[in-house]
Amino acid sequence: MVGGANGSFIGPVHRMAIRMDNLADIVAGNFSRDGKSNFATAEELGIDASRTYTDWRSLIAAEKGRIDFLSVCTPNDSHYLIAKTALEAGINVMCEKPLSITSQEALDLERIARRKRLVLGVPFTYSGYPMVKLARDLVKKGELGRICKVVIEYQQGSFRKIDFTKPLDKRNAWKMDPKRSGRSCVVADIGVHGAHLIEYITGLEIKRVSADLSSFAPGNRLDDDASILIRLSKGAKAVMITSKVATGEENGIRLRVYGEKASLVWKVEEGNYLRVKTATGTEHVYKRNAPYIGGISPVSKRCSRIPAGHHEGFIEAFANHYHEFCAAINGKKGCDFPQARDGRHTIQFVDAVLESNNSDAKWVEVG
Amino acid sequence: MVGGANGSFIGPVHRMAIRMDNLADIVAGNFSRDGKSNFATAEELGIDASRTYTDWRSLIAAEKGRIDFLSVCTPNDSHYLIAKTALEAGINVMCEKPLSITSQEALDLERIARRKRLVLGVPFTYSGYPMVKLARDLVKKGELGRICKVVIEYQQGSFRKIDFTKPLDKRNAWKMDPKRSGRSCVVADIGVHGAHLIEYITGLEIKRVSADLSSFAPGNRLDDDASILIRLSKGAKAVMITSKVATGEENGIRLRVYGEKASLVWKVEEGNYLRVKTATGTEHVYKRNAPYIGGISPVSKRCSRIPAGHHEGFIEAFANHYHEFCAAINGKKGCDFPQARDGRHTIQFVDAVLESNNSDAKWVEVG
Amino acid sequence: MVGGANGSFIGPVHRMAIRMDNLADIVAGNFSRDGKSNFATAEELGIDASRTYTDWRSLIAAEKGRIDFLSVCTPNDSHYLIAKTALEAGINVMCEKPLSITSQEALDLERIARRKRLVLGVPFTYSGYPMVKLARDLVKKGELGRICKVVIEYQQGSFRKIDFTKPLDKRNAWKMDPKRSGRSCVVADIGVHGAHLIEYITGLEIKRVSADLSSFAPGNRLDDDASILIRLSKGAKAVMITSKVATGEENGIRLRVYGEKASLVWKVEEGNYLRVKTATGTEHVYKRNAPYIGGISPVSKRCSRIPAGHHEGFIEAFANHYHEFCAAINGKKGCDFPQARDGRHTIQFVDAVLESNNSDAKWVEVG
Amino acid sequence: MVGGANGSFIGPVHRMAIRMDNLADIVAGNFSRDGKSNFATAEELGIDASRTYTDWRSLIAAEKGRIDFLSVCTPNDSHYLIAKTALEAGINVMCEKPLSITSQEALDLERIARRKRLVLGVPFTYSGYPMVKLARDLVKKGELGRICKVVIEYQQGSFRKIDFTKPLDKRNAWKMDPKRSGRSCVVADIGVHGAHLIEYITGLEIKRVSADLSSFAPGNRLDDDASILIRLSKGAKAVMITSKVATGEENGIRLRVYGEKASLVWKVEEGNYLRVKTATGTEHVYKRNAPYIGGISPVSKRCSRIPAGHHEGFIEAFANHYHEFCAAINGKKGCDFPQARDGRHTIQFVDAVLESNNSDAKWVEVG
């Protein structure tokens, strides 16, 4: 692993996810550029001192051929170079989103992974939820009929706890620095989850966007709120609402898909359930790992660990991505996790959104 | 009353609302152009035969000076002429929305009412809900701080039960005929509720719109789905999502207001509750007619009939509009119900939305 | 009407319910023993002075033959005598619950009504909710299979707002005076709703009870909290949980019925919905007045005024009882509202509960 | 680990929980009496062949002094002997509930653990949920005032999927065999969770019970449904509702605690939230790991891994018990997890419930 020292959010999540199903272990790492934090994390994880590195280049050089994959949990601007170097060294990579800062870089990584026949995963957590997989499978089976409209939200209020007029703490500083995190904040950080989910569930492609971005938090220069009109393939449409200034919200991912025959609702707050409504019948509430699930959606069954009624959450969803990622490394076909294409296309989405916003919400093609 | 024969949806609602608080009674009517339906309704209501009219003009001519107000429940295209004639005869009017087909007509009615010092109400039901009134009062008191963003939805799936490729039944036929209902369907029929609510709760004004309309129902020529980006006064923004083809939805009015200090959520499905969230505290759930309500929002207290825990709904909300409308007729100041200005501005909103949609989502000024 | 002056809770509810469907009007009354309150209410209601009475005996004497029914909204201890006198004068009666203080009185009223072929209704509000009627019809159709267990709650926290160590205000004083309200408080006041609902929905009869009552509110001498084990006919069982000291609860009526094939949940807080769960399928959420309702439960359809998605509540449920009550007066058979038998059996239930509680929770037969 | 081969429910949960926080690893095991299953599990877990045992006695004999603790996941009837042998060998034990079949055995284990100064944990999962810990801490701080009443449910419908008139599969056979699982089914299997939670959250002790048990599933001889009246210390009361035949329920653990000043609600279905209601204020919804949590309840903060808004569930709650258990082994004082006393007292509770049910619901002392 590169990055993700203890104290960070996503590093420990990767580690819990990796270990959950007993498929892999963390054996080497360069967890931080801060030496103290790096070694403290390594020690706590029981990593051998000989495999604790002070920079990622030496890690890749030394571990090449010894590790099955590399997890990249560093700030956004370093994703490209680390992932590229690892791939070129023949190492499979699970790289945090966004895959890179520019679309060009992402295209580059996608090409290298394909050429080297390596697995390049991008853990967009929410498609790891079993009920999201069920949603995708219901759409695929035609239960909703032709898809007309998608409404997707990712609402956070985290910026309401930060004073941007003062120097930011380490955890936030890089996220608000365009050089390190990229030109967009809310769209690149969480809007990409929404873009991925739209495509994952509907099987449609995001084609054009018309966007209205704002910077509401006093002192913040990057976008922290976005409303985006979206045109999908096959005549479908979508709306994305995402924010970092939605006071009081935590991680409000909620999606609705409206088809000709039925619609579905999934909310992360009730992540173990999926609601399906038809024009004339009762509403159906599907439960994770209930008796019928395997028949409808084998992957959502496979990605459940405990019986219906006992709840799984974020960490388990993340572990599902590693579960499928590891299976792919082991040569299994048709594994279900977000890959280079998803990492790349979501960055193209961000680029198009920024361009539209800069030109008075005019419609801009994606990719 | 003009229009609203038994068998229609909104006519009986007006009557239940009028009678609920014992403030008025229906004493005269022309309930339908269909004579049989007109007389049957009158008889069932116990209206004297001498005050049952075969057309609205004779009703106004004969009842002028004898009735306190006229309720207009006819199809959209006749609102203007009936309301105008009544106002000019010195009769207060409660006119169903949309107040008229064109902005020009609405401006005209607004002017006449003002000149004649008559009360002209437009019963946008949802601002009659006590918890919506509480929401408005919380915003007014500054509990949310500066308002940044509003998300409003009105999702129906009713068109999924209709086959537009065949002749429509009477109840739907006029709604889908641009000559009788106006140039827009979903925006003029239900989007206007959303436009009214945004302004009612925030006290801000809708300034500009960028809209993407669709006609998803096979055979339908008018808009049946809309996604609208909105710019409000004082730098705030909004998004409206409204549809007639949201399969499985019934009347999903849901609104969220995000301010700098707090946000609020109200959903018609949980209409007796209002949720308020701050950046760092617990979520607060307010209950209709709870002990604290009167202190925060006297009008929401006044508009409650039964104790907290016993639920009020649509009919009671409608009755609240009549309650305030009757008080205004009796000369009370500061009554809280939608009036000519709201009826007119929502039509200007519809016009701007149509224009924006016709010019590739470009931003269009409202009014 | 006798009792129910303005300012009381249930009086105005009766009046709104009576007027809602245009089936009846209040034409005469003795609304309070307090002359001022009596006349003020009459005036506000537009009751003719000649039909405003200073005591209920003169009302009955004078209105005999002129009115279709009498609504009794007085404190509990007077129900028996007023209802009896009215019935003997040939007047149909809608009498607030509890029908009387003792089982003997209730049996007496039941007998008189039967003998005189008059309609004697007792408006247990909650069986007036369309979704409760749907629940009853689903059970009747065998959708749940054999009923095994019912869990019913009626949780209020109202006594947490009252200081029983000081003199009580008028509204509460009589309720806490055993001479005027009867020997039980929580069970007789709200537990009876639960007892009625169990029998209404399941069609089973309450046979035996084992009860544990408490008086938790400091200074309160009557029961204010009860947990009751119940044996129903046909081997089914139930549990009732009811309280006046459930801090923070308002009117938490929630019921669950578990059958061999399916179970159902209804909560007043989501009163327009009914949830049905089977052992192996998705959960079904039924909506009030949705397309399928009439096919399953014509009465729940008939008792709906507005479309699904627009919500009805307590007043409408109450109006449904009057709707059926008026139909019964007009000679219709099979009307669906609580009658003398229900009023009587719920009092027998209270008696058995008190006896069980006084004998260390031993099982006591009901009736 | 003894027991818990792959394919069982609770074995893998123990393993995921043990590994989640990197505090321990499974290094030796006897996972099944079935040799094939035992070795397959060991291999999948990467356990050294030399530390894979064919019976638990040889495991304890060989691993004595080499392992930090033993996890016991076998059927109920073997818990006592395995735990006893391990403790006497100086090994700390995490033993699945019920700790033993009889109260006497449980008392014995409790004594041995105390005498040997060893840690004996019993993983009642639900007190591992951070919001349950928060509930306990709110009660302890007096936020609810004096506790009056607790309502606790654990509703399962699993027996509706089983045909008890035919031979049962392996997973269910031992659970329905009184010799292997004990004299009670529903109370001993899941009612004990409720008993533990009541005491954990309120700090009160269960003193007396009056119980009504049923065997509703056709062909089932043990109790599968229970309604239990409970007397707690300090004059408080409780009701427990628990079932295996609650058709359509999965694992419905829901608890409500009513105090003089406030009440709280926690439901496993919304396990990341806790609701608190007062007599006169708004309802408060607490969120797991929100900013305020650490100030109110440091342990619930410590037992959270990811930010509010991202959800944790059953596995994380289980891991919290291991987290505290491991800390206790490492000598930390005041660790928060269920121990021998809880294991023993819940069995005494089961005994008292059975005795009460056998004597017509008379009140029986616990312990």
Q: What pLDDT digit, counting tens, does each position of D176-226 carry?
A: 888 888 889 999 999 999 999 999 999 999 999 999 999 999 999 899 999
In A158-271, DSSP assigns E strands to 206-214, 225-232, 237-243, 252-259, 262-267
| Residue D292: band (very low, low, confident or very high) from pLDDT cuts 50, 70, 90 | very high
| Per-residue pLDDT at B183 | 87
| Per-residue pLDDT at D170 | 78
Three-state SS letters, A70-127: EEEECCHHHHHHHHHHHHHCCCEEEECCCCCCCHHHHHHHHHHHHHHCCCEECCCHHH
The answer to whether D147 and D258 have CB atoms below 8 angstroms apart is yes
Q: Which residues of B touch D280 (CB under 8 A)?
A: 290-292
B-D CB pairs within 8 A amount to 32
- pLDDT, mean of residues A338-352: 97
Q: Please tell me the distance in Å from A334's CA to the nearest CA on chain D.
A: 23
- pLDDT, mean of residues B268-281: 97
Residue in A closest to C290 by C-alpha: A280
Residues in chain D: 367
Q: Which residues of D touch B276 (CB under 8 A)?
A: 282
Taking the mean position of all CA atoms in its chain, how far away is CA D351? 17
Rounded to whole angstroms, the Cα distance separating D162 from D169 reads 9
| Residue A297: band (very low, low, confident or very high) from pLDDT cuts 50, 70, 90 | very high
Helix H or strand E segment including C356: helix C340-358
- pLDDT, mean of residues B234-255: 98
The pLDDT of residue A237 is above 80: yes
Q: Please tell me the distance in Å from D9's CA to the nearest CA on chain C.
A: 19
Q: Which residues of C touch B12 (CB under 8 A)?
A: 305
Cα angle at B280 between B276 and B282, to 5 degrees?
50
Q: What is the DSSP letter of B191?
A: I
Inter-chain residue contact C160 with D214, CB threshold 8 Å:
no
| Residue A270: band (very low, low, confident or very high) from pLDDT cuts 50, 70, 90 | very high
Inter-chain residue contact D9 with A269, CB threshold 8 Å:
no
| Per-residue pLDDT at D324 | 97
Inter-chain residue contact D258 with C246, CB threshold 8 Å:
yes
Q: Please tell me the distance in Å from B232's CA to the nearest CA on chain A.
A: 13
D247, D364, D365: best mutation site toward chain C, by most C Cβ within 10 Å? D247
Residue in C closest to A285 by C-alpha: C283
A75: cis peptide before it, omega within 30°?
A: no
Helix ranges (DSSP H) in D46-169: 56-63, 79-88, 103-115, 130-140
Inter-chain residue contact D312 with A309, CB threshold 8 Å:
no
Cα angle at C272 between C267 and C274, to 5 degrees?
60
Q: Which residues of C touch A280 (CB under 8 A)?
A: 290-292
Smallest Cβ–Cβ distance between B311 and the set C21, C307, C314 belongs to C314
The pLDDT of residue A133 is above 80: yes
Cα-Cα end-to-end distance for chain B: 31
ipTM of the complex as predicted:
0.95
| Per-residue pLDDT at D116 | 97
The answer to whether B264 and B275 have CB atoms below 8 angstroms apart is yes
Q: What are φ and ψ of residue C173, in 5° steps?
A: -55, -50
Q: What is the DSSP letter of C169?
A: P
Inter-chain residue contact C361 with D361, CB threshold 8 Å:
yes
Q: Which residues of A touch B148 (CB under 8 A)?
A: 214, 216, 225, 245
Q: Please tell me the distance in Å from C293's CA to the nearest CA on chain A.
A: 10
- pLDDT, mean of residues D301-305: 95
| Per-residue pLDDT at C242 | 98
| Residue A255: band (very low, low, confident or very high) from pLDDT cuts 50, 70, 90 | very high
- pLDDT, mean of residues D320-344: 97
Summarised one tens digit per residue, pLDDT across range A58-87 is 999 999 999 999 999 999 999 999 999 999
Inter-chain residue contact B360 with A361, CB threshold 8 Å:
no
Summarised one tens digit per residue, pLDDT across range D29-44 is 999 999 999 999 999 9
Q: Give percent of chain D with pLDDT exceeding 90.
A: 93
| Per-residue pLDDT at D114 | 97
Rounded to whole angstroms, the Cα distance separating A43 from A37 reads 10
Chains contacting D (3 or more CB pairs within 8 Å): A, B, C
| Per-residue pLDDT at D178 | 86
A165, A227, A260: best mutation site toward chain B, by most B Cβ within 10 Å? A227
Q: What are φ and ψ of residue D72, in 5° steps?
A: -105, 115
Q: What are φ and ψ of residue C319, in 5° steps?
A: -65, -30
Task: Tell me the pLDDT of chain D averaged across its residues.
Answer: 96
The pLDDT of residue A33 is above 90: yes
| Per-residue pLDDT at C137 | 98
Rounded to whole angstroms, the Cα distance separating D124 from D94 reads 11
A291: cis peptide before it, omega within 30°?
A: no
Inter-chain residue contact C258 with D278, CB threshold 8 Å:
no
Helix ranges (DSSP H) in chain B: 10-20, 35-45, 56-63, 76-88, 103-116, 130-140, 170-173, 178-181, 186, 192-202, 293-296, 298-302, 314-329, 340-358
Rounded to whole angstroms, the Cα distance separating B267 from C288 reads 17
| Per-residue pLDDT at C180 | 83
Q: Which residues of B touch C316 (CB under 8 A)?
A: 313, 315
Summarised one tens digit per residue, pLDDT across range C76-107 is 999 999 999 999 999 999 999 999 999 999 99
Q: What is the DSSP letter of D97?
A: S
The pLDDT of residue B277 is above 90: yes
| Per-residue pLDDT at B178 | 86
Q: What is the DSSP letter of C72?
A: E
C283, C285, C296: best mutation site toward chain A, by most A Cβ within 10 Å? C283
- pLDDT, mean of residues A24-43: 95
- pLDDT, mean of residues B202-224: 96
Three-state SS letters, D170-238: HHHHHHHCHHHHCCCCHHHHHHHHHHHHHHHHHCCCEEEEEEEEECCCCCCCCCCEEEEEEEEHHHCEE
- pLDDT, mean of residues A241-249: 98
The pLDDT of residue D145 is above 90: yes
Summarised one tens digit per residue, pLDDT across range B34-84 is 999 999 999 999 999 999 999 999 999 999 999 999 999 999 999 999 999
Smallest Cβ–Cβ distance between D239 and the set C239, C261, C363 belongs to C239
The pLDDT of residue A154 is above 90: yes
Structure tokens at C147: 């009923």
Nearest by Cα to D315 from D153, D154, D123: D123
C150, C161, C258: best mutation site toward chain D, by most D Cβ within 10 Å? C258
Nearest by Cα to D8 from D132, D257, D174, D166: D174
C270, C314, C323: best mutation site toward chain B, by most B Cβ within 10 Å? C314
Inter-chain residue contact B279 with A148, CB threshold 8 Å:
no
User: What residues are paired with B29 via a beta bridge?
Assistant: B52
Rounded to whole angstroms, the Cα distance separating D16 from D312 reads 14
Q: Which residues of chain C have pLDDT under 70?
A: none
| Per-residue pLDDT at C216 | 97
Smallest Cβ–Cβ distance between D310 and the set A249, A311, A313 belongs to A313
DSSP D273-295: EEEEEESSS-EEEEETT-TTHHH
Inter-chain residue contact B311 with C271, CB threshold 8 Å:
yes
Helix H or strand E segment including C11: helix C10-20
Summarised one tens digit per residue, pLDDT across range D340-364 is 999 999 999 999 999 999 999 999 9
| Residue A281: band (very low, low, confident or very high) from pLDDT cuts 50, 70, 90 | very high
Inter-chain residue contact D214 with C237, CB threshold 8 Å:
yes
What residue type is assigned to position A300 of the chain? S
Smallest Cβ–Cβ distance between D308 and the set A13, A44, A250 belongs to A250
Rounded to whole angstroms, the Cα distance separating C3 from C9 reads 11
Residue in C closest to D231 by C-alpha: C212
Q: Please tell me the distance in Å from D292's CA to the nearest CA on chain B.
A: 7
Interface of C with B (CB under 8 A): 9, 12-13, 15-16, 19-22, 44-46, 156, 161, 249-252, 268-272, 287, 290-291, 305-316
Q: Which residues of C touch A287 (CB under 8 A)?
A: 282-283
Taking CA atoms, C165 is separated from C51, C162, C184, D38, in Å, by 41, 9, 19, 68
- pLDDT, mean of residues A278-297: 96
Q: Which residues of D touch C239 (CB under 8 A)?
A: 227, 239, 241
